[in-house]
């Protein structure tokens, strides 16, 4: 399974909003397996996994970012980006860590234990590591859990949050036997409770709306991780971290990590010039440029993200029939070909919004509404009153015209937009291409729903319930196009309380069928994570699915 959590960045020429699908371990599901003879991506990933004892002490790792986040609070509406999560994993904690096998395990640096003490109501007791301390010297306590709950439960609109899922199911957070004991009581059951409080921020900074919204805007004042902030340079678009001497856990191997935000293909040039230590190689052009580079290892895995075309109800696509017509008029296989190109891996179409093809619970729910059929698209348009044959259709004196918004410099997005433009023109729909600045792509366009169509990725967290708000109605959450129905709302409310995995999977697939029928969005493929990297780098590279990075053991082999 996969769950969704919004993050963004330009990945392989696409905008990759790191939020997505549920994160069950890769298993027995398949998404239209082909007989292409190309290599299969290894669901176990390829990170040059090494024990800490085999990794040298010291060195600087230079990591490219796809965007430069405006806010380092991952739970803030404009902070929920893949790049935010990647960087903040070096400096803040999560109660549970997603491993290379896709399963969550207790983070013993933060917690001694986290267990249900009651099921009716659901009560979780978090026993905090006695040594766990914020970088300003204050201990991590139950009050930090309470502040995160208060900020994220959705009851106070002054907190500009990305998603209240899970937190809105909580009734209270109280102190247990000591200040190192947090008791979380739920008013309604929440199956993915292990996904909560991730990442975890200090009450001293996010305990008020002003602090939550601005304390981490272009700064990182308080942390609690193996690394601490060294410098944020907004002009150079770099952020560097160094080991925190106050860290109570296993000492990290690296002396420094420098994250560098680079536009479009500038990251490939930087890699070839040995200015960074790794780069995404997930398109034919990028793969071709780096595959023969000296001192380069190519590491590949299926990621926990998928490329999709998204609709917004803010304009012409408030009409469901137009959304369904586009789904029939666009050949998703041709969009897949743009992304995959000549990559030497077999990457089939994805026919599910909720589950990835590597999930055991995956099933093809696209059905007739998700199949390519231009004649059916024409029939839908004609039935909806849009007349015309071969030219731009009209209705009530208005042309059937709209735009697709993409970030400038995103080559694959531009190519896909041109393919879509041509295919829609064939059925009488006129689509223009609106390119906007990449750093403003989400904040000014997608988050406020100010678009007709767009292309980006959802990136996974490992928990299906984390993506519920993508399909739920209302202004809050990650349903940027504001497309939903009361029936979907009801099913989503039910599924997040379902603790039986078989029943939950069946209901999630029912939800996906309804999402297809509503014309909410069109998934294309599960993205490959292909990384060109300095072969001496250990414990980093092509992480499978939603696996977290263990920054303590990332480093260089001697």
What does the domain layout of the chain look like in residue ranges? 303-523
Residues in Cβ contact with 446 at an 8 Å cutoff, skipping those fewer than 6 apart: 17, 310, 405, 454, 456, 480
Question: For residue 238, how many C-alpha atoms fall within 13 Å in the half-sphere facing its CB?
Answer: 14
pLDDT for the residue numbered 389:
66
- What pLDDT is attached to residue 346? 86
Query: Whole-structure pTM over 0.85, yes or no?
Result: no
Q: What does the alpha-carbon distance between residue 193 and residue 463 come to, in Å, rounded to a whole number?
A: 9
Residue carrying structure tokens 């319930």 = 465
What phi and psi values does residue 394 have, to the nearest 5 degrees? -135, 160
Q: Distance (Å, rounded) from C-alpha 405 to C-alpha 487? A: 29
Cα–Cα distance measured from residue 123 to residue 336, given in angstroms and rounded to the nearest whole number? 45
Cross-strand partners of 131:
none
Distance CA 61, CA 135 (A): 23
Q: What are phi and psi of 111, to 5 degrees?
A: -125, 145
Q: How many helices (H) and strands (E) does the chain have?
A: 12, 22
Distance of alpha carbon 274 from alpha carbon 194, whole angstroms: 40
The whole-number pLDDT of residue 165 equals 87
Over the stretch 333-342, which tens digit does the pLDDT of each residue have? 999 999 888 8
What pLDDT, on the 0 to 100 scale, is given for residue 461? 75
429 touches 325 (CB < 8 A): yes
Output the pLDDT for position 36: 56
Q: Please provide residue 280's backbone torsions phi and psi, each rounded to the nearest 5 degrees.
A: -65, 135
pLDDT of res. 282: 86
Backbone angles phi, psi at 421, to 5 degrees: -55, -45
- Please determine, looking at this structure, whether the domain spanning 303-523 carries the CATH number 3.50.30.50: no
Per-10-residue mean pLDDT, the chain, length 558? 35 31 33 61 91 97 93 92 93 94 92 96 97 97 98 96 92 98 96 94 98 97 98 96 97 98 90 97 90 95 91 98 98 94 90 86 95 97 89 95 94 94 97 93 92 91 82 87 97 91 94 98 93 98 91 96
- DSSP letter string, 29-60: --SS-----PBPPPTT-BS----GGGSPS--E
How far apart are the C-alpha atoms of 103 and 101, rounded to whole Å? 6
């Amino acid at each position: 399974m996969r769950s969704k959590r919004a993050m963004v960045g330009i990945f392989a020429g696409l905008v990759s909003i790191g939020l997505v699908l549920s994160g069950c371990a890769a298993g027995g599901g398949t998404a239209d397996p082909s007989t292409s003879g190309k290599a299969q991506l290894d669901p176990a990933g390829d990170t040059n996994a090494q024990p800490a004892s085999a990794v040298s002490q010291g060195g600087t790792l230079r990591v490219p970012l796809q965007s430069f986040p405006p806010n380092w609070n991952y739970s803030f509406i404009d902070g929920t980006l893949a790049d935010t999560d990647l960087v903040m994993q070096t400096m803040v904690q999560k109660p549970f860590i997603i491993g290379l096998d896709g399963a969550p395990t207790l983070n013993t640096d933060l917690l001694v234990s986290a267990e249900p003490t009651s099921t009716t109501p659901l009560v979780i007791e978090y026993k905090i590591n006695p040594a766990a301390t914020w970088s300003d010297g204050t201990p991590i306590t139950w009050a930090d859990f309470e502040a995160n709950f208060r900020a994220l439960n959705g009851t106070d609109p002054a907190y500009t949050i990305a998603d209240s899922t899970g937190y809105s199911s909580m009734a209270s957070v109280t102190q247990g036997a000591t200040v190192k004991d947090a008791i979380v009581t739920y008013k309604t059951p929440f199956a993915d409770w292990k996904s909560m409080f991730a990442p975890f921020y200090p009450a001293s900074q996010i305990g008020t709306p002003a602090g939550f919204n601005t304390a981490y805007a272009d700064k990182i004042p308080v942390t609690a991780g193996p690394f601490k902030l060294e410098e944020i340079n907004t002009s150079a678009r770099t952020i560097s971290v160094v080991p925190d001497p106050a860290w109570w856990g296993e000492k990290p191997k690296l002396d420094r990590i420098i994250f560098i935000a680079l536009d479009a293909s500038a990251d490939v040039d930087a890699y070839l010039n040995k200015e960074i230590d790794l780069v995404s190689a997930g398109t034919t052009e990028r793969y071709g440029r780096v595959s023969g580079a000296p001192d380069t290892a190519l590491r590949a895995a299926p990621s926990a993200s998928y490329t999709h075309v998204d609709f917004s109800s803010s304009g012409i696509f408030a009409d469901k029939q137009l959304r369904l017509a586009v789904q029939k008029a666009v050949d998703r296989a041709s969009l897949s070909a743009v992304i995959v190109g000549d990559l030497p891996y077999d990457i089939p179409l994805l026919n599910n919004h909720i589950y990835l093809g590597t999930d055991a619970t995956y099933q093809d729910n696209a059905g007739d509404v998700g199949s390519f059929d231009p004649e059916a698209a024409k029939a839908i348009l004609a039935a909806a009153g849009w007349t015309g044959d071969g030219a731009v259709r009209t209705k009530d004196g208005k042309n059937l015209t709209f735009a697709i918004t993409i970030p400038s410099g995103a080559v694959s997005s531009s190519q896909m937009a041109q393919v879509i433009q041509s295919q829609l023109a064939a059925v009488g729909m006129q689509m223009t291409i609106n390119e906007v600045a990449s750093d403003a792509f989400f904040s000014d366009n997608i988050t406020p729903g100010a678009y007709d169509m767009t292309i980006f990725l959802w990136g996974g967290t490992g928990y299906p319930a984390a993506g519920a708000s993508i399909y739920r109605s209302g202004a809050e959450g990650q349903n940027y196009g504001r497309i939903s129905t009361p029936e979907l709302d009801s099913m989503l409310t039910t599924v997040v309380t379902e603790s039986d995995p078989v029943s939950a999977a069946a209901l999630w697939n029912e939800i996906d069928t309804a999402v297809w029928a509503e014309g909410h969005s069109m998934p294309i493929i599960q993205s490959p994570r292909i990384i060109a990297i300095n072969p001496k780098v250990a414990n980093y590279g092509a992480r499978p699915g939603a696996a977290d990075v263990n920054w303590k053991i990332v480093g260089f082999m001697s």
